[in-house]
Amino acid sequence: MPTKTRSARVLLAAAALGAVVLAGCTPEQIAAVQRHQAILRAGDKFHHVVSDAGLSRLRACESGGNYRIVSASGAYRGAYQFSRATWNGVAARHYPHLRGVDPAAASPYDQDRMARALWAERGRQPWPHCGKRV
């Protein structure tokens, strides 16, 4: 597994556990986690487009925050309820390694990056109801 992917998963796990995990860390360890998060954000060319809080509100509205959810029809997948066609189109333009990946099977990090990329292209239009909450 590439180091960046492994690191992203570790950070996502730490973020999920939040203050509980960091409460037992030294100030140096907390600073190291914060530096690593900044490096990952720098690698996300669309991080500036939508804040983490905005993505959280969009995700909560679209899927209840569930990155693995699939709509009843199976047409919309993942935290941001991407259709496979939209996912593959965005991936082809910005993250080619994600083409063909099921949005509901993609990592939370990749789903967030794809949502930011789509927002950069089309604003809230792909999410007509929930986009108003961002």
Q: Does domain 46-134 have CATH number 1.10.530.10?
A: yes
Rg (CA), the chain: 15
pLDDT at 40: 54
The torsion defined by the Cα of 90, 92, 96 and 100, in degrees rounded to 10, comes to 80
Query: For tokens 């973020």, what's the residue?
Result: 15
What was the pLDDT predicted at 119? 96
Q: CA dihedral defined by 18, 112, 52, 34, rounded to 10 degrees?
A: 50
Both structure tokens of 115: 């949502």
Residues of the chain with pLDDT under 50: 3, 17, 42
The confidence score (pLDDT) of residue 9 equals 57
Q: Where are the domains of the chain?
A: 1-43, 46-134
Report pLDDT for 18.
54
Host H or E run for residue 39 = helix 27-42
- pLDDT recorded at residue 117: 96
